[in-house]
Amino acid sequence: MARAGFGPQAGPVTNDQARRRDGTDGGQETSAAGEELSLFADPRYAACYDAFFPWEDREDFHFYLPRVTAADAVLDVGCGTGMLLHHAREAGHAGRLVGLDPAPGMLERARRRTDVEWVRGDLRSVAWREEFDLVLMTGHAFQELVTDADLRAALRAVSAALAPGGSFAFETRNPALRGWERWDFEYSLAVPDPEGSGGTVRMAMQAEGPATPAPGGGTLVRAVTRLTGPAWPGLRTHRSAYRFLNAAELRGFLAEAGLEVAEQYGDFDGSPPDDSAPEIVTVARRA
């Protein structure tokens, strides 16, 4: 089945464009205004997210949580269902915790806990000034910033939001491993329906079309995610795009925003970064 815009001829896309270009499988969720919803804005996906990616499997959160508890004021960008900040409060964090996300379905889950500030919004258009000791982006949310303009606007906003001496901690997958070629295996997941139907919810995500060079550096990977579940008919299909930057490209974008790399790891166990490492885990500081 042909899908417009996702073939080799497709140029750089934003995630907004990726959704508008989506084709044909049916089951595409739309807002009241008739716009296609992103994967994360799909309330069905949001309801299943924590079951697909439970705390016990989140090695990244075990890396980030001690940093959150050590910081007075924390902004979690792309907080999703809020799992990390929920755990930070439960672990006794007494300072300011703010979760930012544009996806209402994910935020609705986050809001189950009311002792954290939840803000619906997009990092590219927020205006916090020197308020946070730590800004985070976890779950590879950083890779959803796909155009140079997205990256620059987002990193400017992070830099502005950081108090002097503050840190920005995030990870991006190492492009050298071409992990997207194994996404169909890595992200074929099935969990008992968290809404209690007794059935199974399945998700299958795979890269779609060839990875292409991104104009300002790095690689652009388009992906399709399909969801099936007992509570809805047919497939729910979402398209999205992810940018992969290597360590040098990343350093360049950070430097433009006045951020410099203070620590870098190849994985959440603190192992050194190199070409065979799965992640580029970065802690950057305002220069």
Ligand X SMILES: C[S@@+](CC[C@H](N)C(=O)[O-])C[C@H]1O[C@@H](n2cnc3c(N)ncnc32)[C@H](O)[C@@H]1O
**CB contact burial 244-271 (16+ within 10 A = b; e otherwise):** bbbbebbbebbeebbbebeebbbbbeee
Cβ of residue 139: shortest distance to ligand X, in angstroms?
2
Q: Choose between 66 and 230: whose C-beta lies nearer to ligand X.
A: 66
Residue type, position 97, single letter: L
Strands 212-213 and 117-120: unpaired
> Is 285 strand, coil or helix?
strand
Tell me if 78 contacts ligand X by CB under 6 A. yes
List the alpha helices (DSSP H) in 72-130: 83-90, 104-110
Of 10, 18, 97, 106, which one interacts with ligand X (CB under 6 A)? 106
Please give the Cα distance from 259 to 222 (Å, whole number).
28
Of 65, 71, 75, 103, which one interacts with ligand X (CB under 6 A)? 103
Q: Choose between 73 and 103: whose C-beta lies nearer to ligand X.
A: 103
Tell me if 124 contacts ligand X by CB under 6 A. yes
Q: Choose between 174 and 275: whose C-beta lies nearer to ligand X.
A: 174
Cβ of residue 155: shortest distance to ligand X, in angstroms?
11
Of 10, 22, 80, 163, which one interacts with ligand X (CB under 6 A)? 80
Cβ of residue 185: shortest distance to ligand X, in angstroms?
18
Cβ of residue 276: shortest distance to ligand X, in angstroms?
24
Quick one: 112 exposed, middle or buried, by C-beta within 10 A (0-12, 13-18, 19+)?
exposed
Q: Which range of residues in 117-125, 178-186, 193-201, 216-224 is near ligand X by CB under 6 A?
A: 117-125
Alpha carbon distances (Å) from 259 to 29, 43, 173, 217:
38, 35, 20, 18
Residue whose C-alpha is closest to residue 203's, from 40, 12, 90: 40
Q: Which range of residues in 71-79, 236-244, 266-274, 278-286 is near ligand X by CB under 6 A?
A: 71-79
Token code pair at residue 8? 């080799």
Tell me if 144 contacts ligand X by CB under 6 A. yes
**Site residues for ligand X per CB under 6 A:** 40, 53, 77-80, 100-103, 106, 122-124, 138-141, 144
